Structure 1
Amino acid sequence: MKYVVVIGDGMVDKPLKELDGETPLQRAKTPNMDFIAKNGSCGMLKTVPQGMEPGSDVANLSIMGYDPKKYYTGRGPLEAASIGAGLEKNDVAFRCNLITNENGILADFNASHITTTEASQLIETLNQSFSRYGKFYLGTSYRHLFVYNDRNASLLKSTPPHDVVGEPIQEHLLKGNNDTLKHLADDLNQLMYKSSDILEKQSLNEKRVESGKNPANMIWLWGQGPKPQLPPFKEEYNLKGATITGVDLIKGIGTYLGLTNIHVPGATGYYDTDYCGKAEYALKALEDHDLVFIHVEAPDEAGHAGDIQEKIKAIERIDRRILRKLREKLPAIDDYALAVLPDHPTPIDIRTHTSDPIPYAVYTPGCEADKTEAYSEVSVLNSFKNNSNEIMEGYKFLKFFIEYGKCAKKS
């Protein structure tokens, strides 16, 4: 039996007046998602537990079958595993964005999606200038890592930069709730401001401005935490699993779980990611793996940018270039089960994540269908209400999906 989980990051949304009251998912042409919904089983999933921040870290940890309330320690340490930053007992890993500081305003949380090649020069400069603070690690594009050797830093309050674009930087810096933590926060906030002094003067940023791009002229520290302790996926689910993604966060979760992180050369974590390549590599991986998670970041990036058309295009590309190929090729490989879902909503109108329940659809040949009309927020929710179902806790989804797939063997 083979299992494939396709995750369209931030894919679901709210009705938009620009789309005559439809969501991007409703407006998009998604015949393959609709097939899965009509011929499979659909429901609602709560991937972000009550009281937790609605981040991709928490939500994807849930989808991969692990309770965030039990295992989550922060976003930074999850990414650390994927980029080779080994964490010691007292280390705290921060997510380190390269952002654009415009006269004290957080103008751009990704510095016009700076390339990894450009970013590598800036990360090297930061390590040369601020070695007394800790160590910076190169990630991908604007997403990097900073490791600080003081476990107290995990107790600071930090803010995701994509939540405060256009707002004063001073209002959203690191904060502590006692004298020790306030002193620690002040020290790290000074590091962020000092980074602006250094990065602003880099010739690379001068060239970016000349070419009409935003400079990567400051770092932003957030999403911190110590190394998590996660039981191996193989022991929990008795399946050999793999991940396909262009995002270090998902690779990091995979590393901690003992999943195979499969490198797809064109996987960028942006609009231009190689959708077809992800499908092809997934099919190849299934030759010696039981389950593959395919993660696509593009819809989430479009949600953060408030770009309706790019979000629709990303959803349609997932459907046409990934799901269609999977539907065509999976029957020749083995008995299979296929799932499609987002990790969390990223509504266009607020440009950030929410913790609202998300719709899922699962399909395996031979299983009874619940006759949901299409895969969309509205159709799945209506079917869900009609069937008087309960919202499933996110971390329970994977076991449900694995059990669901077994009906193919019984039929």
Structure 2
Amino acid sequence: MKVLYLIADGMGGWPLEELGGKTTMEAADTPNMDELAKDGIVGVAQTVPEGMQPGSDVANMALLGFDPARYHTGRGPIEAAAQGLELSEDDLVWRLNLVTVSQLNIDGYMRDYSSGHIDTEVSRPVVEALQEKLGNETYTFIPGIQYRHLLVQKDGAKSDDAQIAINPPHDITDKPIKLDLRAFSKSPHLWDLVFEAKEILENRDINMSMANSIWPWGQGRPLSLPNFTETFGLKGGVISAVDLIKGLGFASGMDVIEVEGATGLLDTNYQGKVDAALEFLKENDFVFVHLEGPDECGHGGNAQDKVEAINRFDAQVVAPLREALKDEDVAWIVTCDHFTPIAERTHTMDAVPFLINGSGCAPSNVPSFSEAQANQTGVKLEEGHTLLSYALDQLGLK
């Protein structure tokens, strides 16, 4: 039996007046997920442990079967794993966003956590310029994708900087940055770095984008995870546009499958991801396919875009995979990592809906796959990192 684990990042949400009291999942046209849910097990899972930040780093680590309370060290280290960086045990790895703020002082607001979803072709030279001008024995700027980059602080894990709490920029869209600036000020060297970077970003010969500040956050020691195959007995691969998911794959010894044109946005290469998943499953057991689009639309606060992202997930990922594998012995796990409600424009702690479909799964007979329907089945996993083991057990694969 082959296992397809499909993740629509941030798909869950809350009822909206503009959608007639429906959530974006309920308003979306999802006949394929609905059919899989009706014929399979449906429930909810608490992917973010109590006391941890409800982010994709924590939640996707849980979905892959690893307890974040035990293994999570920070957002930055996961993305560093995706780049195969050689790090020392005491290095501190920061996720580094290129952001747009109204002004970089205590009266400022976070205007855009992604600098208008800056293209990689634009952002990479900017980060390279930051490294050329500001990189030193302590700090190294590492270019990534779009607005997502890294800052490595040599031996920083032994310093008080490891305990500085900076808000993820997507959590404070249109909100004051005063508390975060106070946090930055606890580290004189980091404070200087942020303001020196601001001056460089003001140079239009270097930067023609909306980005006017760097935003280091999500810092931690280098990541170490158990081997996925040794843990679950499956040869697995991950498919995603974002370094976060790739990093989890690399760190756990999974295959990381690159797809040209995968953007992490509404316009991603859906067919390319489907083709890559099908090709991988010809010789292997398990594939984790991640779509970022619903989450980005949730952060943008656009209900119609998020509905469309969920529509496309069902029609352009779930549907063609079902058609291609209709005569094969396959199992399905479909879920999201966390909620990204339109009203909040950031992640929340809500337990996420999931479905498991395959031989051995008793039909739930729910009429559709949604947050409310999943909550009514009585199936709830209090520890989200047990979802994969639970699914494999139900499928007779454990």
State if a TM-score over 0.5 links the two structures: yes
Moved over 6 A (4+): none
Residue of structure 1 equivalent to 2:307: 312
Matches within 5 A, 1:8-407: 8-104=8-104, 105-132=109-136, 133-149=138-154, 150-151=156-157, 152=159, 153-173=161-181, 175=183, 183=186, 185-203=187-205, 205-206=207-208, 208=209, 215-332=210-327, 334-365=328-359, 367-384=361-378, 389-406=379-396
* Alignment partners' CA distance in 1, 2:175 and 2:303: 23
Report the 3-state secondary structure (helix = DSSP H, G, I; strand = E; otherwise coil) of the residue aligned with 2:183.
Answer: coil
Alpha-carbon shift at residue 154 of structure 1 (Å): 2.1
TM-score by length of 2: 0.94
User: How many percent identity over aligned positions?
Assistant: 41
Deviations 1:362-383 (A, max 9, x none): 1114632121121011112122
Alpha-carbon shift at residue 204 of structure 1 (Å): 5.2
* Alignment partners' CA distance in 2, 1:220 and 1:317: 32
2:201 counterpart letter in structure 1: L
Asked whether the 8 Å contact 2:129–2:206 carries over to 1, the reply is no
* Alignment partners' CA distance in 2, 1:379 and 1:288: 35
* Alignment partners' CA distance in 1, 2:211 and 2:275: 34
1:81 counterpart letter in structure 2: A
1:111 counterpart letter in structure 2: S
Alpha-carbon shift at residue 217 of structure 1 (Å): 1.8
In the alignment of these two chains, the number of paired residues is: 390
Report the 3-state secondary structure (helix = DSSP H, G, I; strand = E; otherwise coil) of the residue aligned with 2:194.
Answer: helix
Asked whether the 8 Å contact 2:360–2:394 carries over to 1, the reply is no
Report the 3-state secondary structure (helix = DSSP H, G, I; strand = E; otherwise coil) of the residue aligned with 1:203.
Answer: coil
Asked whether the 8 Å contact 1:5–1:292 carries over to 2, the reply is yes
* Alignment partners' CA distance in 2, 1:89 and 1:60: 24
Q: 1:137 to 1:166 in 2, by over 3 A?
A: same
Asked whether the 8 Å contact 1:159–1:174 carries over to 2, the reply is no
Residue of structure 2 equivalent to 1:212: none
Structure 1 runs not aligned, ≥5 long: 177-181, 209-214
Deviations 1:164-199 (A, max 9, x none): 1223333213638xxxxx75x232122112111111
* Alignment partners' CA distance in 1, 2:261 and 2:359: 31
Alpha-carbon shift at residue 4 of structure 1 (Å): 0.6
* Alignment partners' CA distance in 2, 1:267 and 1:360: 24
Alpha-carbon shift at residue 391 of structure 1 (Å): 3.3
* Alignment partners' CA distance in 2, 1:27 and 1:49: 29
2:132 counterpart letter in structure 1: Q
Asked whether the 8 Å contact 1:244–1:261 carries over to 2, the reply is yes
TM-score by length of 1: 0.91
2:97 counterpart letter in structure 1: N
- Which stretch of the first structure deviates more once superposed, 368-377 or 239-248? 368-377
Report the 3-state secondary structure (helix = DSSP H, G, I; strand = E; otherwise coil) of the residue aligned with 1:47.
Answer: coil
Report the 3-state secondary structure (helix = DSSP H, G, I; strand = E; otherwise coil) of the residue aligned with 2:377.
Answer: helix
Deviations 1:52-86 (A, max 9, x none): 00010000000000000111100100000112322
* Alignment partners' CA distance in 2, 1:157 and 1:366: 46
Q: 1:224 to 1:174 in 2, by over 3 A?
A: farther
Asked whether the 8 Å contact 2:81–2:223 carries over to 1, the reply is no
Report the 3-state secondary structure (helix = DSSP H, G, I; strand = E; otherwise coil) of the residue aligned with 2:376.
Answer: helix
* Alignment partners' CA distance in 1, 2:50 and 2:41: 25
Asked whether the 8 Å contact 2:60–2:245 carries over to 1, the reply is yes
Report the 3-state secondary structure (helix = DSSP H, G, I; strand = E; otherwise coil) of the residue aligned with 1:268.
Answer: coil
1:127 counterpart letter in structure 2: Q
Considering only aligned residues, what root-mean-square deviation do their CA atoms show, in Å?
1.6
Q: 1:281 to 1:15 in 2, by over 3 A?
A: same
Report the 3-state secondary structure (helix = DSSP H, G, I; strand = E; otherwise coil) of the residue aligned with 2:325.
Answer: helix
Asked whether the 8 Å contact 1:40–1:361 carries over to 2, the reply is yes
Deviations 1:73-125 (A, max 9, x none): 00100000112322112111100000113223321110001110111110111
Structure 2 runs not aligned, ≥5 long: none
* Alignment partners' CA distance in 2, 1:174 and 1:371: 52
* Alignment partners' CA distance in 2, 1:365 and 1:14: 32
2:17 counterpart letter in structure 1: K
